[in-house]
Structure 1
């Protein structure tokens, strides 16, 4: 579906319409099915729209201030203080708590080694004494994570999203 900002030429009323494609809009308009909901005029055209362009993933949203240190770009994106369109803004205490959690996770990841897709194999080998214990992080499927927990292996998810080494642009 495509959302178009529309405008009636008679009174310049602006409204939006949802269509399957630009061609579908033109077809419906040609058959007189698109009318202004305010005045009923059938002389409706597409209005000029400003597209929403998302922020690049490698741009930092949080800058260092005297009371709050800078947050890594991936972590800053995860704890963005910009509210969603329908969501109320987070209280300042919640934002501060999320920022502190993200920073704590970033510090923990610095002291850990990225093992990528070998995570389940590595922690299982450490648990059973086949490999020296070390702090590691990596990725595995939800099913494999459940199997590790069922085996009594202590694991925890990385809560704040981050970009694994080699996957940042």
Structure 2
């Protein structure tokens, strides 16, 4: 695992863990990175100093536990979203269109859509918003 400090073109700074340097490169090349604060997809590695643990006997935080206030807020957002909406996966576009057209009852959902699909939904007057995290089943 490798941690990178990242910045978006809106000036937000955040960090993220990746399986390897090549995993980061592949995600960046595929346009799969986004700002943890605003969702901007124009994300780059920031200049960073090496991390040195001065107290090797100090208790270590598990990577799955949020550390910073931003990580805690993101974890709480995820928890609330998952508790109060249905995950519909890659049927998101079809589901949201069906609700918008009155074919199925409205309910809170979240799922996956390609950027061009999300853009078409917005152009058609269907309110959608990107989430600042990937679904749990797709994270490492």
TM-score by length of 2: 0.49
Q: Choose 1 or 2 for highest CA Rg.
A: 1
Using structure 1 for the length normalisation, give the TM-score: 0.41
